[in-house]
């Protein structure tokens, strides 16, 4: 496992699982580009660290106990690809999805990009959002 794979695992744990906003300053470059993330409101945008914290807060609000677990990874050059499983309880309202209280699972794969200081500069992502819709709208 590369050092960057380990950095990425800690980023997912501290930032996305624990929701530690201060950790964003440690892991992110000053600009973070969401190169590709279909159906994500921030798709195509370049965020400052503060804007990333707002995104983190908004994304975690409906799913406060969310957990990402890395299933597979591959590191090469400036990138680490991570296949992940996500689980959460739908406790708060999301756009178009009022809180259901349901346990929900999701999978996806993300290419994360690093700069030479090992800080994250952005991502390119594919997520099974159809599966989430089927669980929350059924």
Residues that bind its own copies (CB under 8 A): 2, 36, 38-39, 71-77, 79-81, 83, 107-111, 124-131, 133
Secondary structure percentages of the chain, helix, strand, coil, to 5: 30, 40, 30
User: Rounded to the nearest whole angstrom, what is the least distance from the CB of residue 74 to its own copies in the complex?
Assistant: 4
CB-wise, 53 or 112, nearer to its own copies? Answer: 112
| Residues 96/71, Cβ–Cβ less than 8 Å | no
Helix (H/G/I), strand (E/B), else coil: 138: coil
Dihedral sign, Cα of residue 20, residue 54, residue 60, residue 106 = negative
CB-wise, 53 or 114, nearer to its own copies? Answer: 114
User: Rounded to the nearest whole angstrom, what is the least distance from the CB of residue 30 to its own copies in the complex?
Assistant: 22
User: Rounded to the nearest whole angstrom, what is the least distance from the CB of residue 113 to its own copies in the complex?
Assistant: 9
CB-wise, 97 or 109, nearer to its own copies? Answer: 109
DSSP 8-state code for residue 77: T
């Amino acid at each position: 496992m590369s050092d960057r794979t380990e950095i990425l695992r800690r980023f997912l744990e501290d930032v996305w699982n624990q929701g530690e906003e201060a950790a964003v300053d440690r892991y992110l470059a000053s600009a973070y580009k969401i190169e590709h993330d279909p159906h994500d409101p921030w798709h195509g945008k370049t965020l400052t660290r503060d804007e990333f914290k707002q995104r983190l807060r908004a994304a975690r609000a409906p799913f406060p106990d969310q957990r990402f677990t890395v299933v597979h990874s591959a590191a090469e050059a400036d990138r680490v690809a991570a296949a992940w499983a996500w689980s959460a309880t739908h406790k708060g309202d999301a756009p178009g999805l009022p809180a259901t209280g349901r346990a929900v699972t999701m999978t996806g794969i993300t290419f994360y990009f690093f700069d030479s200081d090992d800080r994250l500069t952005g991502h390119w992502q594919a997520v099974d959002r159809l599966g989430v819709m089927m669980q929350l709208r059924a």
